[in-house]
A = this chain, B = another copy of it.
């Protein structure tokens, strides 16, 4: 069976977005700093329909994550950009533009059902109201042999970790302390502690990639 992977950028103090998220500032105050390392990379630029960019270890790691995923699951806030946006306009198309970088089926966890959206470049957004396991089942069917990636935010990652469904966890640790915002690890684990096995550590001045397997 394909793996469920988490791939997410975090500050050293464990925040995946800054405080005060809005539609104009979906990553919160200071949250842009968590993703700067990726913007300049060839693999990231290619997924966003742009040419050029830096090659090297960081770019290869992004490329690996992009290639290995056949479907993505994300939380509703990550889709809609900030907590307020969805409630204000439940039909908003999020902040991903006309051609989102996923280029495969994306399943959005939500309490408000709506029709799927087909974007340019191969991305579809399907809205799942039946919970995280139902979303994972649909994503696995869509991904085939490839992995299913949980893209975020922190709450969605936590839910899958708590349920013991995550196989691999890769954190892109950015040399920054945000002090406030959305935590990646915010809650108790139903299973008590979870043991991990280090797969790989790769570092550059801009970011350190820590990749672990969840031990069961």
Contacts and interface: CB of A to CB of B under 8 A. Distances in A.
Interface of A: 11-14, 18, 30, 33, 161, 169, 171, 173, 175-180, 184-185, 187-189, 192-198, 201, 203, 205, 208, 210, 212
Given A12-B212, A14-B14, A196 B176 contact: yes
7 contacts: A12-B185, A12-B196, A175-B196, A177-B196, A178-B193, A179-B188, A180-B188
A194 B180 contact: no
A169 B175 CA distance: 11
Given A12-B210, A14-B13, A14-B185, A177 B194 contact: yes
Stoichiometry (number of copies): 2
B193 A198 contact: no
A33 B192 CA distance: 13
Contacts of A198: 175, 203, 205, 208
A48 to B, nearest CB: 25
A185 B30 contact: no
